[in-house]
Amino acid sequence: MDHLNLFREHFPEVKAVGVIGSGIMGHGIAHVAAAAGYTVTLFDLEAALLDRALAQIRKNLEVGVEKGKVSNADMQATLSRISTSTSLKETVDQKELVIEAIPEKLPLKIELFGKLSGIVNDDTILASNTSSLSIGAIASASSRPERIVGMHFFNPPHILKLLELVSSGRTSPDALASVKKVAEKMQREIVVVKDSPGFATSRLGVLLGLEAMRMVEEGVASAEDIDKAMVHGYKHPMGPLRLSDLIGLDTRLEIAEYLHRELKSDAFKPPLILREKVRIKHLGQKSGQGFYEWNK
Ligand code: NAD
C-alpha cells in the first residue's frame, strides 16, 4: 500500500467558503470565491470593517462592468453570494473550506487555528493566506493538521491570478487535491511550493523591496526614480517601492523580520527606514502615506 494512503482522507466537495479577515486580501479572496460560484461568509472583528470590505468588492466589480470584463448579471450574482459576520462560529458553519487572511503574525494565526479546530466540522479544510509563515507551525495548533494547507493569493486577487499552494508535509493529499480544484474554479495560475519561509514569491519579492528601501536610505535615487528604473529597465509592471506601499509596510516588516530570523541572511534584515515608517504609521496606501503620498 502507498504509504500516503495511511493519511488519505475524504473531503466533501467544496460548495461554501468562509473567509476570516476582510482587509486588503480577505475582501479580494471573498470576491474571487463568490465570482467562482461559491457561497461565501466573510468575517471580521467589527461590522464597520465588513461594510468597508463589501463596498470595496462592489466598487471593484463596478470597474469590471465599466471595462466590459464582468457582466451586470455576474456582478449581481457575485454580490448575492457574499454575506458577512462578526461571529466566527457562523462564518465557519456548513463550510467545506475556510480561508484565513488575518495579519502576518504567527502567534495570532496559531491562536486562530487552535480556536477553529474546536468549532469546524472534522472534514472542513483550513487554508492560510500567509505570505511567508510556516504552514507546519500554523497546523501545529490544529487537532487535525492533515487538513491545513497554504493558499497564498496575490494582491489584488480579482486581477492577479497567481496562487501558491503549500503543503506542510502533513497536509493530506486529498485536502491538497480538493483545494487545487477550488483554485482551478477560481481560474488561478497554480504553483505548488514546499513549506519554506517566504515560499517562492515573497522570498524573492521582499528581497527586492528591502534592497530598494536601503537604496532610498543611502540616497542612491528617489523612490520614484528607483521604481521608474525597474518599470522601464526591467519591465516590472510596478516598482518595488510602490508595490511595498500597496502591500502594506507593516506586512512587509513582519515578513522581513520572519525571513531574517528563519533564513539567517542579513539580506532580509529590515532597513531602518521601514521600521521608522511603520512606527509613525506610514503604512502605504492603506494609511494614506508610505514611500508615496496616497491621499493626493
Ligand atoms: P490587513 O491588515 O489588510 O487585514 C487583516 C484583517 O484581519 C483586518 O481587517 C483585521 O481587522 C482582521 N483581524 C485582525 N486580527 C484578527 C483576528 N484575530 N481574527 C480575525 N480577524 C482579524 O492584512 P492583509 O494585507 O489583508 O494580510 C492578511 C494576510 O494576507 C497576511 O497573512 C498577509 O501576509 C497575507 N498577504 C497579504 C498581501 C498583501 O498584498 N497585503 C498579499 C498576499 C498575502
Which amino acid does the sequence have at 21?
G
pLDDT in the model for residue 53: 98
pLDDT in the model for residue 124: 96
pTM: 0.94
For residue 291, tell me if it sits in a domain. no
**Pair (222, 270) in one structural domain:** yes
Q: Which domain holds residue 225?
A: 201-279
pLDDT in the model for residue 9: 64
CA–CA distance, 198 with 217 (Å, rounded to integer): 24
- CATH number of the domain enclosing 11: 3.40.50.720
**Pair (33, 53) in one structural domain:** yes
pLDDT (tens digit per residue) in 43-59 = 999 999 999 999 999 99
Choose the final residue of a domain: 194, 224, 252: 194
**Pair (83, 186) in one structural domain:** yes
**Pair (18, 88) in one structural domain:** yes
For residue 296, tell me if it sits in a domain. no
CA 141 to chain centre: 20
**Pair (114, 245) in one structural domain:** no
In the chain, how many domains are there? 2
Q: Is 253 in the pocket of ligand 1 (CB under 6 A)?
A: no
- Separation of CA 132 and ligand 1 centre (Å): 13
**Pair (259, 119) in one structural domain:** no
**Pair (247, 114) in one structural domain:** no
- Separation of CA 53 and ligand 1 centre (Å): 12
How much is the average pLDDT of 214-240? 98
Q: Which residue matches cell numbers 495579519?
A: 103
Q: Is 85 in the pocket of ligand 1 (CB under 6 A)?
A: no
Residue 4 pLDDT level (bands cut at 50, 70, 90): very low
Taking the CA atoms of residue 49, residue 51, residue 52 and residue 53 in that order, the dihedral angle to the nearest 10 degrees is 90
- CATH number of the domain enclosing 240: 1.10.1040.10
For residue 126, tell me if it sits in a domain. yes
How much is the average pLDDT of 197-202? 96
**Pair (54, 186) in one structural domain:** yes
How much is the average pLDDT of 29-34? 98
pLDDT (tens digit per residue) in 11-24 = 899 999 999 999 99
- Checking if the pLDDT of 235 tops 80, the result is yes
- Checking if the pLDDT of 295 tops 90, the result is no
For residue 166, tell me if it sits in a domain. yes
Q: Is 159 in the pocket of ligand 1 (CB under 6 A)?
A: no
More confidently predicted of 3 and 34: 34
pLDDT (tens digit per residue) in 260-273 = 999 999 999 999 99
For residue 12, tell me if it sits in a domain. yes
Choose the final residue of a domain: 139, 161, 194: 194
Choose the final residue of a domain: 154, 169, 194: 194
pLDDT (tens digit per residue) in 143-171 = 889 999 999 999 999 999 999 999 999 99
CB of 91 within 8 A of CB of 18?
yes
